[in-house]
Structure 1
Amino acid sequence: MVTRAEWQADESIVTEPPSYGTTVKAFWVHHTAGTNDYSCADSAAIVRGIEVYHVKSNGWNDIGYNFLADKCGVIFEGRKGGIDQPVIGAHTYGFNTDTAAIAILGTYISSGVPPVVQDAIAHVAAYKLGQYGNDPLGKVTLTEGVADGKYALGEQVTFNRIGGHRDAVATECPGDALYGQLGIIRNKAATVYGLTLTGLTGTKNGTTYYTKTGTTASWSVSTPSALISRFEVLVDGAVAVTTAGTARSAALTLAPGTHTVQVRGVHRLGRTAATPAQTVIADTTAPSFPQVPTLSLRTGSVSSSVVPVTLGWRAADNVAVRSVALTAPTTGTFAASGTYGTTTKPGVTTTWSMRAQDWSGNTTTSSASWTPLFIPETKATRTGTWSTYTSSNYLGGSALTATAGGASLSWVFTGRSVSFVATKTATSGQAYIYVDGVKVSTVDLYSSTVQYRRVVWAKSWTGSARHTVKIVVVGTSGRPRVITDGLVYVR
């Protein structure tokens, strides 16, 4: 509040003492109809000019308005007599007694006032009406004191307690745009208006927030802080934290589980408003890996340095897994469970490490080491006639080939995944695959182009055990040849 002394009112031209009513029943909003293109540093000078105009030109004893405010929301004391007194002004002809008024510097026909000015109007209106227990959202019936063309002398007229000049007098004041904002101003003066829970610290997934044990609630509100008695932060409907009306955040400690969080504002007039309930889950339990990072063989091309593999995993959580990150031997981010096709080095033990994180930020890690190994065709137990092909295109520089149906190769190994490596050509035929004495597949090795070192079949188990894999030549008519390059298994 800029006092009369501070804006340098010319008290020498105010020759009569102020007049007083007994109450403040209504609060009128005006604009001065001057330019909006002014610096707020010049507002005091503009107020001084209005004082001189009202006294020298209008013949009034003093400036007519009880209060004025500039476009920056700075409030100026108007007519003298005490801002805490029911001073009778000269502002709303016929309804000056037992009312108060504020005028906003400028013209507000096409554009309204910014929120800071709305706050200033609401604050002063709530103060003046509240001194006498009058509700800024209420209505009041006043008696017309003059015959000015809008109402007859003595007519009883019902107004909003916060009204525009035009409500009482035939005028455009306070401008169409500012007049249209009076509903917002009434709400700001009397209610906790525009209260919104803007967020909770933690992680949001969909409409739910996740945290460990604590969160900070933040909110915004349109009602001026000075008109708010307090804020109450509710957890599961009960008050957990109480803050001052100036606060816009509060820290909460939550027990593990699912909760609702709301913010309730309490106006100085007693009205309350609360935000919708926001769900937040507090969780301190780390995820787990029911399936550790597990390597299995897959189809593709192998070499002396590359084996195609699939990494599989499954993470779980008491609430929800947010993501799983592969951290070694390479990196990537994946879903809670799944598979990832990649390659690894044969004959090398590699540790695969993953980290699971839930939505509350709890993490756990899991690692497992796997070794892919080659078993060359020369280590197999043979039946039938097999001959040797030599070429740098084959693993180890050679491969076994057969054309007669029934010729077979058998390998014994201990592992959890195995694959059969062969060469595919235009003259290659089919082979049966037996695992532990049971026929499990028939593979066709035909290809219009030559493909060396191809994994044509793979199988995995949940654990490591001793197994026998046998390859039997079918003897396909017209293309009976089978060229085998051995097995790969994971231990």
Structure 2
Amino acid sequence: MGRSRYIWGTTAVVSAGLVGGLLLTGGSDQPGRNADRDGRPGPVKSQARTAALPTTDQGTRATLKQDRTEPFSMLGITWSDPAARVTGTIEARTRAAGSGQWSDWLRLDGTGGQGEAGARRGGTEPAWVGPSDGVEVRVTADGRTSDRLPAGLRLDMIDPGGGDSGTGVPGGMEPAGHHVDAPDDPAESPDPADTEPGEVPDPDAPAGEEETTAPTEPELPADPAPSSQTPTASPPASPPPSATPSPSASATGPAAPPSTAPRPAIVSRAGWGADESISPEEPGYLPGGKIKAVVVHHTAESNNYTCADGPAVVRGIYAYHVRQLKWKDLGYNFLVDKCGTVYEGRKGGVDQPVMGAHAYGFNAETTGISILGTYTDVAPSNAALTSVARIAAWKLGQYGVSPAGTATLTAGESGSNYTRKTWAKGAKLSLPALHGHRENYNTQCPGNAYYAKLPTLRDWAAGPVKGLAIKSVTGAGLSGTTYYTTAAVTVSWTATTPSALIGKYELLVDGEPVATAAGTATSARATLAPGSHQVQVRATHQSGKTATSAAATVVAETTAPTFPVKPALALRTGTVNTTAVPVTLSWKASDDAALKEVRLTAPTTATYGPATTSAGLTAKSGAATTWSLTAHDQAGNTGTATVSGTPVIVQETSATRTGTWTGKSSTSYLGGKSLTSSAKDASLTWTFTGRSVAWLVSRAATSGQAHIYVDGTKAATVDLKSATAKYRDAIWTKTWSTSAKHTVKVVVVGTSGRPAVTTDGIVYLK
């Protein structure tokens, strides 16, 4: 519910009066259903113990430390006047049963008694602390409204039952959270009621053996119905303490209308182990029989509970509301744990417009959903928010109300909200159909972090699906903003609306559905005809509203890439040895749609981009090598081409010589030898048949120049000078388009001061 902004006062704050109706002893939303006979666990008995909090310092402080207590898992601080408020500091810490470790101090909210007629005490929201056997409490007034704390302060400790962990149910049964009321089955008929009498405690008796006796307090008036409405029935009288709850044979509340949204799974009261004997009064229903708005809350307790603790936490809140504050039943209509499990709250039928005690002055026109925990600084989990959105959509959908719309509510009492807006009794307030408690009451509830999520919650509940977008198209390549495929693709998408609120997805091609998938799906397949297509995803929200993603252009084509310029090999400059002769592989690939890449598959592997047309490689001397290329387009079509060549090394000794040449030996030369000459016009001539040739030399700072003649014509003058020594250097190359017989002649220039020319032969490509 939330934190008040007053320290304490005397304004009566109670729930709306409840209209008489069906009593559902078994806690099911199906009238007359017996918990034992439908396989559900029986009620779980809770234990409540109290300890007085004596005040000191003229009534401004109260402290208590108990090192040994009976086991408990939930606590709250209560006081005599249900209309009082405490905005001072209320803190507690507990000792964990078993480990003996004390927790950090937990701050409690002094909201007070937002209860109902007959409420006996005001109090904080209850706090789940887990199995504990020790407690310490400190309460301090802040002096803004009063210097004194309210009278009758006490600590209330609750053991929700179900074993040491507080999470199970007795007798070796399954945990209560496993019993879920599925959506109604029209074909199923309820069984006759057959329950045993349960113990009904005296509402004026102490809650437990340690409970301090509170003074007799007057009953508070019921929260009046809106002035524009007249209740359909008078509230039933509470049965005497000795009475036992007796289920009615038929519902006296309004007929449950169908909803525009599907009903989520709900753990029934029997499922979480409700002890119906402690709240024997029959349920009440909204005077107008119609839910106009949903009010969301947090329980303002610790978030340190496990998902398995959920049923026990609900039982603890139930016991606190009924046994400690003396409400007729649990205040909320629905509760949700952080794992998204939904629990039935106040009895009367989850599909009925049951009157809760959660929004003072507005209970008569609303239903209340509370997430277990406190969400001032941290937002609820997506699982919890999803469940809240589903319940809100279902309940509002029963009465034709959009979760994204507004509702005009009639105030059943004067009041103010968190932003200090005030109103008189009977005033008409326009509020969101799904709103936080702080908008109709002066409280921080549902916490700042949760409140910031309300726009998202409304979007999820109302639809259409938000954030729908195509994430990827597999089986296709992407070039720019266009996908290319041969035919079959898998389209993946994403959406920010939870899948539990989505009815289905459809894959559209050129506006027509070609595949349908469940709301939990994230992809679908399609086979496209040749041509360009617009592909989209359409999501149908559970409300029936649709959303369509932006279109992706997908081109289906089966034309293979081609090599309009066939691959070719040529010798290139660089260092030569018998296992690695430098060559250049060149090609030109193209595609009708979009070329993706060219892959070299033999004699080695490499991948090149669509704009690349050549690569520097090496080949083994004397070995015929086939170079294989495959062109890939974005659609996945392929085309291949090959070229073969053999690099052949011709030693310098094979040349026809003129002039003076001297042999030199070194392991740095090819074959260990080379020829050198400083004589001007000395020459070496090689004749070969091939399509590319390179002259191999040794180079140094004293090396000279040489003229090169090809087929009798001077082709170049080459300077062999090098600052560093180089051996087997292909310093000059020439390539022809086809293979033919050619002659290469090298002539020493006789460069002044450095006439020497040293050669290691030639290499040609055949």
Provide the residue aligned with 1:2 in structure 2: 267
State the alpha-carbon separation in 2 of the partners of residues 162 and 432 from structure 1. 93
The corresponding residue for 2:276 is 11
Out of 78, 93, 113, the residue aligned to residue 380 of structure 2 is 113
Secondary structure of the 2:363 match is coil
Q: Which of 325, 334, 340 in structure 1 is aligned with 2:608?
A: 334
In the other structure, the counterpart of 2:664 is 391
Between the aligned partners of 1:448 and 1:154, the Cα distance in structure 2 is 102
After superposition, where does 1:49-448 map in structure 2 within 5 Å?
49-149=316-416, 150-191=422-463, 192-202=465-475, 203=477, 209-303=483-577, 306-336=580-610, 337-377=612-652, 385-393=658-666, 397=673, 399=675, 401=677, 403-405=679-681, 408-424=683-699, 428-447=703-722
Distance 1:168 1:427 in 2: 98
Deviation at 1:320, TM superposition (A): 3.8
Between the aligned partners of 1:453 and 1:222, the Cα distance in structure 2 is 66
Of 23-32 and 212-221, more deviation after overlay is shown by 212-221
From 308, 314, 319, give the equivalent of 1:47. Answer: 314
Aligned 8 A contact 2:386 2:500 in 1: no
Given the superposition, is the C-alpha separation of residues 14 and 331 from structure 1 closer, same or farther in structure 2, using an over 3 Å criterion?
A: same
TM-score (normalised: structure 1): 0.88
Question: Aligned-pair RMSD on alpha carbons?
Answer: 2.9
Q: Alpha carbons of 1:224 and 1:427: their partners in 2 closer, same or farther (altered >3 Å)?
A: closer
CA distance in 2, matches of 1:107, 1:187: 23
**Aligned mates of 1:305, 1:238 — CA distance in 2:** 61
Distance 2:701 2:379 in 1: 83
- 1:456 matched residue in structure 2: 731
The question of 1:469 aligning with 2:750 is answered no
Name the structure with the higher strand share.
Answer: 1
2:516 alignment partner, SS class: strand
Distance 1:420 1:268, change over 3 A: same
Structure 2 SS opposite 1:34: coil
**Letter paired with 1:416:** R
Q: Distance in 2 between matches of 1:424 and 1:17?
A: 105
2:507–2:513: 8 Å Cα contact kept in structure 1?
Answer: yes
Q: Give the deviation of 1:186 after TM superposition.
A: 0.4
**1:41 Cα deviation (Å)?**
2.0
Deviating more after overlay: 161-170 vs 39-48:
39-48
Work out the CA distance in 2 between the residues paired with 1:434 and 1:454: 19
Unaligned runs of 5+ in 1: none
Distance 1:185 1:447, change over 3 A: closer
Contact 2:575 2:730 in 1 (8 A): yes
Structure-1 separation of matches of 2:723 and 2:548:
73
Change (3 A) 1:10 1:391: same
1:5 to partner: Cα distance: 2.0
Alpha-carbon distance in 1 for matches of 2:697, 2:532: 56
Task: Please state whether the residue corresponding to 2:316 is helix, strand or coil.
Answer: helix
1:279-313 Cα shifts (integer Å, max 9, x gaps): 44444444333445432112233345553323333
User: Alpha carbons of 1:268 and 1:332: their partners in 2 closer, same or farther (altered >3 Å)?
Assistant: closer
Deviation at 1:113, TM superposition (A): 0.6
Aligned counterparts of 2:560 and 2:481: Cα–Cα separation in 1: 22
Q: How far does residue 322 in structure 1 lie from its aligned partner after superposition?
A: 3.6
Shift of 1:340: 3.3
CA, structure 1 residues 455+133, in 2 after alignment: closer, same or farther (shift >3 Å)? same
User: Cα deviation per residue 1:60-85 (whole Å; 9 max; x = unaligned)?
Assistant: 43222221111111111122222222
Q: Which amino acid aligns with 1:403?
A: A
Q: 57-66 or 130-139, which moves further after superposition? A: 57-66
Please give the alpha-carbon distance, in whole angstroms, between the structure 1 residues aligned to 2:400 and 2:456.
20
Q: Name the SS of the counterpart of 1:318 in structure 2.
A: coil
1:386 maps to amino acid: G
| Cα contact 1:386–1:402 (8 A) shared by 2 | no
Structure 2 spans left out of the alignment, 5+ residues: 1-265, 417-421
Which amino acid is 2:276 matched to? E
After superposition, give the CA deviation of every residue in 1:318-375 in whole Å (9 maximum; x if it has no partner).
Answer: 3444443333333333334343334333322122233443444444443322112234
Q: Write out per-residue CA displacement over residues 146-181 of structure 1, whole angstroms, 9 at most, x where no aligned residue.
A: 123542101111000001111112222212221121
> C-alpha distance in 2, partners of 1:372/1:231?
61
Deviation of residue 445 (structure 1)? 2.5
Query: Which deviates further from its counterpart, 475-484 or 242-251?
Result: 475-484
Is the contact made by 2:556 and 2:635 (CA closer than 8 Å) also made in structure 1?
yes
Letter in 2 for 1:15: E
Relative distance call for 1:484 and 1:56 in structure 2 (3 A) is closer
Contact 1:123 1:224 in 2 (8 A): no
Identity %: 53
Deviation of residue 123 (structure 1)? 0.3
3-state SS, counterpart of residue 497 of structure 2: coil
Summarize deviations over 1:163-219 as a string: whole Å, max 9, x none: 111111222221222112111110100111233433332455665545432222222
- Determine the C-alpha separation between the residues in 2 that align with 1:245 and 1:24: 28
Aligned-residue offset at 1:19 = 2.5
CA separation in 1, counterparts of 2:618 and 2:542?
69
Q: Distance in 2 between matches of 1:457 and 1:156?
A: 97
Q: Structure 1 residues 381, 267: closer, same or farther in 2, change over 3 A?
A: same
**Matches of 1:32 and 1:219, distance apart in 2:** 36
Query: More displaced, 421-430 or 152-161?
Result: 421-430
TM-score normalised over the length of structure 2: 0.59
- In structure 1, give the amino acid aligned to 2:270: A
Work out whether residues 365 and 409 of structure 2, in 8 Å CA contact, stay in contact via their aligned partners in 1: no
Counterpart Cα distance in 1 of 2:455 and 2:303:
23
Please state whether the residue corresponding to 2:320 is helix, strand or coil: helix
Report which of the two has the higher share of helix: 1
Equivalent AA in structure 1 for residue 462 of structure 2: A
Amino acid at match of 1:79: R
Shift of 1:490: 0.7
Q: Which amino acid aligns with 1:133?
A: G
Report the CA distance shift for 1:31/1:478 in structure 2 as closer, same or farther (over 3 A). Answer: closer
Q: Deviations over 1:386-406 (max 9, x none)?
A: 23422334656453746234x
Give the counterpart letter for 1:431 in structure 2: A
Aligned residue type for 1:195:
L
Q: Displacement of 1:135 after TM fit?
A: 0.9
Query: Are the aligned partners of 1:27 and 1:161 in contact in 2 as well (CA < 8 Å)?
Result: yes
Shift of 1:448: 5.8
